[in-house]
Amino acid sequence: MAEIELKSVTKSFQGLEVIHGINLAIHEGSFTVFVGPSGCGKSTLLRMMAGLEEVSGGEVHIDGQRCDHLLPSARGMAMVFQSYALYPHMSVAENLRFGLENQRLPKDEIAARVAKAANILQIEHLLARRTNQLSGGQSQRVAIGRAIVKEPRAFLFDEPLSNLDAELRVTMRGELISLHKRLGSTMIYVTHDQVEAMTMADTIVVLSEGQVEQVGSPVELYARPQNAFVAKFLGAPP
């Protein structure tokens, strides 16, 4: 069963439609990458799944249940942003705990989740440090940790590596792929970077101007691009 489904989803801002009736099924446990040029609607789509933005038309379903009327907290998804969105005046440990304390989880459960996430991301030595003293790569690890501790049904990543230098970006790609293997959770990853899409995804969704151009595995899209846009964008032979 598809874990997340978009049915004829549209979005308009000030009367201007930017997402034009998208139908899409994202399978449970997949690493799905939305790729397309800047402004094509990737972030808007992700934000509508997370509940941070309302749909203008159509429906969002999770596990077969309509959820486009639910608050973000009720959808069980965790989002990681390019800008990290950490609390600068708090320590790493406090940042990791923050969302969980609002959920009223028992203290020992919170401590166990924070310890596990810190171990997975190898940031145990940073737990007492304030997040405004961290490097970009360390900050992004904490931001990912904050998603892991929520034990979400799905992770939504919005260009999480765009602010990192090229070398670190390659390292972090590998770490995210390992994380996906380890947790087995559904991951939806947005990027404008074709290389990132081709190397990380098991399923790629190519978007342009608020529409889906093609969905498939990296090999399928490269070998059999459905149209000239996909071929050109992914650098495949036409």
Q: Which of 30, 32, 43, 139 binds Mg ion (CB under 5 A)?
A: 43
Residues 54-113 that bind Mg ion (CB under 5 A): none
Interface with ligand ADP, residue 18, by CB under 6 A:
yes
* Residue 9 or 142 with smaller CB distance to ligand ADP: 9
Total residues in contact with ligand ADP, by rule CB under 6 A: 10
Total residues in contact with Mg ion, by rule CB under 5 A: 1
Angle, CA of 99, 160 and 12, to the nearest 5°:
85
Q: Which of the listed partners (ligand ADP, Mg ion, none) does 39 bind, with a CB threshold of 5 to 8 Å by partner kind?
A: ligand ADP
The Cα 132–Cα 88 span in angstroms is 5
Contact mark string toward ligand ADP, 22..61, x via CB under 6 A: --------------x-xxxxxxx-----------------
Interface with ligand ADP, residue 236, by CB under 6 A:
no
Instruction: For the beta carbon of residue 16, count every other beta carbon within 10 angstroms.
Output: 7
Which residues pair with residue 232 across a beta bridge? Answer: none
Q: What's 104's DSSP letter? A: T
Closest CA to 34 of 54, 16, 13, 19: 19
Q: What's 184's DSSP letter? A: -
The helix/strand/coil state of 107 is: helix
- β-sheet with 16-27: strand ranges across: 16-27, 2-13, 57-62, 65-66
The helix/strand/coil state of 64 is: coil
* Residue 43 or 203 with smaller CB distance to Mg ion: 43
* Residue 13 or 87 with smaller CB distance to ligand ADP: 13
Q: Which of 8, 12, 13, 132 binds ligand ADP (CB under 6 A)?
A: 13
What residues make contact with ligand ADP under the rule CB under 6 A?
Answer: 13, 18, 36, 38-44
